[in-house]
Structure 1
């Protein structure tokens, strides 16, 4: 039996996210194809800094349109200012509405990200006073994020509301 690697995840901070437009590249994934997400990032990297209306240097992974069977859309992208005259045929985009997020910092290798997500959704969330929302989940990568050097910051922003 494979021994599962353990991850340490600190308690989240809570923040009220603001309206975002994220543009980049998107595809549909399942549990069986999730290992292909890095290829989407490889496709995005040469475009960072060249996407019209790009705002800042932070990059985002956006998980949305969950089907309840492990399928979801994933976008690797950057924040843009507006959609006016935006080349939507070249860069798909998604609108992120303002809402409350539980924000977790992922530490360590990206290979351990699935364990961090499993902890958040299977351990922390059920035991917390919050419930997850059917809304986009964000991975926020700092401008200096470098997965090879393990520098920079990766935050997982989980949309939540208090249980009633």
Structure 2
């Protein structure tokens, strides 16, 4: 997988979050709570979904599968004027990202991230930046399908 390098402006997002770890993965629970409510977000820019992770600064250099991080289920919005009750606002800071187009099952997520962080990144000339990581789940995303497609956005500097 060869990424494209993109510089993005800040984005306004609305959704739900949960604290979890890789050992205690609550991703399915998060999306089960978000998906029935996503149509309540009246000012969404598109139908794309954002699966976003906020890790502590040394999360990957001192990796422990029980260390917690915050995971979000989000959509991009035009503004924060109409946030549904119980949902939260999130501002994604601007910055440079390596964008990987991934095709395959989410069951291979650990393998894909291992390649990106342990093989591609050290050879790339870039360093991991301390900003959110996210995946854009567009119209070709099919949960747990080998035919699924998504974009994996890794913050770099």
Give the distance between the partners of 2:139 and 2:79, measured in 1 at CA.
21
1:68-83 equivalences in 2 (<5 Å):
68=59, 69=64, 70-83=67-80
Work out whether 1:49 is the aligned partner of 2:17: no
Give structure 1 stretches of 5+ with no counterpart. 1-9
Conserved? CA contact 1:59–1:143, under 8 Å: no
- CA offset digits 1:117-154 (Å, max 9, x no partner): 11111111112100010001111111342225544521
Give the distance between the partners of 2:16 and 2:48, measured in 1 at CA.
15
After TM superposition, the runs of 4+ consecutive aligned structure 1 residues lying more than 4 A away are 148-152
- CA offset digits 1:54-113 (Å, max 9, x no partner): 1210000111142635321100111111112424x5111211121111001222111011
Equivalent residue of 2:104, what SS?
A: coil
Q: Which residue of 1 aligns with 2:107?
A: 111
Q: Which residue of 2 aligns with 1:127?
A: 123
Give the distance between the partners of 1:107 and 1:11, measured in 2 at CA.
13
Give the distance between the partners of 2:106 and 2:151, measured in 1 at CA.
12
Conserved? CA contact 1:13–1:104, under 8 Å: yes
Give the distance between the partners of 1:139 and 1:107, measured in 2 at CA.
12
* TM-score w.r.t. length of structure 1: 0.82
The 1:159/1:148 distance shift into structure 2, 3 A limit, reads closer
Work out whether 1:21 is the aligned partner of 2:23: no
Give the distance between the partners of 1:59 and 1:151, measured in 2 at CA.
18
Give structure 2 stretches of 5+ with no counterpart. none
